Amino acid sequence: MQNIFKITQTKVIKKVISALFLPAKLPWTIIAFGILVRLVQYLSNRSLWNDEAALALNIVNRSYLELLQPLDYDQGAPIGFLMVQKLAVQVFGDNEYALRLFPLLSAIISLFIFYELAKRCLQPQAVLISLALFSTLHIWLEYATEVKQYSSDVLVALLLCLLLMQMSSKLGFAQIITFGMVGAIAIWFSHPAIFVLAGIGVSCLLVTLFKKDLSTSLKLLSIYLLWTLSFAAFYLISLKNLANQEDLFKSWEGRGTFPSSFLDISWLFTSFIEFFHKPLGFPDIFLGLAIFAFLVGCISLFNRRTLLILLSPLFVTYFAAYLHKYPFDGRLVLFLTPFITLLVGEGIAVIRRKTRSTSFAKVGVLILILLIVPPIGTAAYLMVKPYVKQEMRPVVSYVRSHQQAGDVIYVYQRAEYQFKYYANKFGYQEGDYILGIDDLDKKDGQGTSEEEWQRYKNDLDKLRGNKRVWIIFSHVRTWDKESERITSYLDVFGKQIDAYIKEGSFVYLYDLS
């Protein structure tokens, strides 16, 4: 009986392996795993963190027409994305699930589009490797379920690349209209779509000019004219206001997202290396291997139109950064990750193939393992312990359930957006709480100066004499020891009598009488 059980068990295991891991079915297993990881992050329903809450307040509190106006809280998002988000809230209610639904769907659809694009660009083994990377890159997983446009940016970039690669010399009137309208619409759903359009558009035009195909060149120019007209309208309605937000651009400049000049070559190399760390997410120790694989992938596809198309959005984005028009920074260049991932996957496959029958065979296998296993391992870990950033929702719930008559609620300035989003859900109205003075880190953008800190202490002094004061924190900067400085100051003239701490958000109850 025991032998029969073992035989049956062995047959089941073989059937499972056959169903999931045979070469023909492995891509769908990888995609299914990628979908499952994203669904786990979505269903964990973590609280909105600072940036999400700031954009969510605009989406929830504005009408469709009001979303065409400059957004509050230094936020910027494509009009098409905002309209879809507003519709989701109206249909499914004002909640985290509704706000994150479109980013989730974008992330899931991106897996299928990426697979189709990989099959057109790469050799079979490289398709599997790049698909495994793209499905599990942890920063991409994080933004796949955030109330921001970065997930849909990736989807739009992939769709445009897959479609525009088909632009050829056989361009009829229907194709011209189709390519023109798709690009024109994409601009309204994704800010960096213009970089993908410009990059791939110029690439196709250069190819036709090199072939001296004047007829096709003119047809391409007619397509680009539609894109240009759409971008001009979008700029006047939306981007112009965003481009004039000096505080936003100063914040980006402070993070080193722009070169100092056109001759700043060191920034180019530094930002390119950093790209492999964020947003691609390779560990620091393996950055050199990832860049090496990327270069091998580029060499493998050299002299092919595919390489020019895959790299062109990167070139245009760098050009925009040198013009100080678009910051080259982690999440803002997330849309480039599919193109670079394809080239890294191609490089790994080439290294594996070239070393297979040599004394360096183990080196090829080692490179594959070192670059593939960490993201897959991280994704598997996220299945057990999903992302958590700033858990404001349980903090507000705790305050509400333990609050007594006469209690004062003081919200630290960086927790403003999150608290405002959750306040109404727990019955709080304006006037039921005090927002901390928005005065920290305004002078130089690098930290809290003594002058700024003194003004904040003056704001805290107004709380003296109250027997029960809740101090709510979130989005604090640990390197500036913001919460420690505030609580240390309160400890001078008060006593802490309760505390409730969650990931990234916390509250202290003080007796300041």
Burial of 60 (0-12, 13-18, 19+ CB in 10 A): middle
Return the DSSP state at 182: H
Q: Are 419 and 393 in contact (CB under 8 A)?
A: no
- 234-266 pLDDT, tens digit per residue, is 998 888 877 666 666 666 766 778 888 888 899
Identify the pLDDT of residue 119. Answer: 95
Residue 444 pLDDT grade (very low, low, confident, very high; cuts 50, 70, 90): very low
Residue range 202-231: mean pLDDT, rounded: 89
Identify the pLDDT of residue 99. Answer: 97
Domain ranges of the chain: 2-384, 392-511
Residue 346 pLDDT grade (very low, low, confident, very high; cuts 50, 70, 90): very high
Mean pLDDT is lowest, of 71-80, 203-212, 357-366, 439-448, for 439-448
pLDDT at 197 over 80: yes
Q: Hey, is 469 helix, strand or coil?
A: strand
* CA 31 distance to own-chain centroid: 19
- 487-502 pLDDT, tens digit per residue, is 888 888 899 999 999 9
Choice between 324 and 116, residue whose per-residue pLDDT is larger? 116
What is the rounded distance in angstroms from the CA atom of residue 276 to the CA atom of residue 283?
A: 9
**Contact residues for 447 (Cβ-Cβ < 8 A; gap 6+):** 441, 480
CB atoms within 10 A of CB 497: 12
Identify the pLDDT of residue 186. Answer: 96
Question: Per 3-state DSSP, what percentage of the chain is helix, strand, and coil (rounded to 5)?
Answer: 70, 5, 25
Q: Hey, is 262 helix, strand or coil?
A: coil
- 348-373 pLDDT, tens digit per residue, is 999 999 888 787 778 889 999 999 99
What is the rounded distance in angstroms from the CA atom of residue 144 to the CA atom of residue 111?
A: 11
Q: What is the mean pLDDT of the chain?
A: 89
CB atoms within 10 A of CB 422: 20
Burial of 32 (0-12, 13-18, 19+ CB in 10 A): middle
Structure tokens, 43: 């269903």
Phi, psi angle pair for 498, to nearest 5°? -160, 155
- 367-404 pLDDT, tens digit per residue, is 999 999 999 999 999 999 999 999 999 999 999 999 99
Within the chain, what is the greatest distance between any pair of CA atoms? 84
Identify the pLDDT of residue 510. Answer: 92
Q: Are 482 and 375 in contact (CB under 8 A)?
A: no
* CA 352 distance to own-chain centroid: 31
Structure tokens, 426: 């727990």
What is the rounded distance in angstroms from the CA atom of residue 166 to the CA atom of residue 367?
A: 33
Percent residues over pLDDT 90 in the chain = 63
What is the bridge-based pairing of β-strands 505-511 and 495-502?
antiparallel
What is the rounded distance in angstroms from the CA atom of residue 271 to the CA atom of residue 23?
A: 37
CA dihedral over 333, 338, 341, 342, signed as positive or negative: negative
Given strand 434-435, what is the order of strands in its sheet?
A: 434-435, 408-411, 469-474, 505-511, 495-502
Identify the pLDDT of residue 344. Answer: 97
What is the rounded distance in angstroms from the CA atom of residue 39 to the CA atom of residue 444?
A: 41
CA 301 to each of CA 5, 127, 228, 311, 449: distance values in angstroms, whole numbers, following the listed order: 51, 14, 30, 11, 52
Identify the pLDDT of residue 445. Answer: 52
Identify the pLDDT of residue 92. Answer: 96
Q: Hey, is 473 helix, strand or coil?
A: strand
pLDDT at 443 over 50: no
Identify the pLDDT of residue 15. Answer: 54
Identify the pLDDT of residue 454. Answer: 84
* CA 26 distance to own-chain centroid: 27
What is the rounded distance in angstroms from the CA atom of residue 351 to the CA atom of residue 138?
A: 24
Structure tokens, 378: 């991280």
Q: Are 86 and 61 in contact (CB under 8 A)?
A: no
What is the rounded distance in angstroms from the CA atom of residue 137 to the CA atom of residue 114?
A: 14
Residue 296 pLDDT grade (very low, low, confident, very high; cuts 50, 70, 90): very high
Identify the pLDDT of residue 439. Answer: 63
What is the rounded distance in angstroms from the CA atom of residue 410 to the CA atom of residue 389?
A: 21
pLDDT at 333 over 50: yes
Identify the pLDDT of residue 240. Answer: 80
Structure tokens, 76: 């910027």
Identify the pLDDT of residue 130. Answer: 97
What is the rounded distance in angstroms from the CA atom of residue 424 to the CA atom of residue 432?
A: 11
Q: Are 56 and 99 in contact (CB under 8 A)?
A: yes
Residue range 299-316: mean pLDDT, rounded: 92
Residue 458 pLDDT grade (very low, low, confident, very high; cuts 50, 70, 90): confident
Residue 305 pLDDT grade (very low, low, confident, very high; cuts 50, 70, 90): confident
Q: Which amino acid is located at 117 in the chain?
A: L
Instruction: State the distance between the two ends of the chain, measured CA to CA, in whole angstroms.
Output: 77
Beta bridge partners of 501: 506
Identify the pLDDT of residue 78. Answer: 95
Among 7, 4, 36, 6, CA closest to 20: 36
Q: Which amino acid is located at 296 in the chain?
A: V
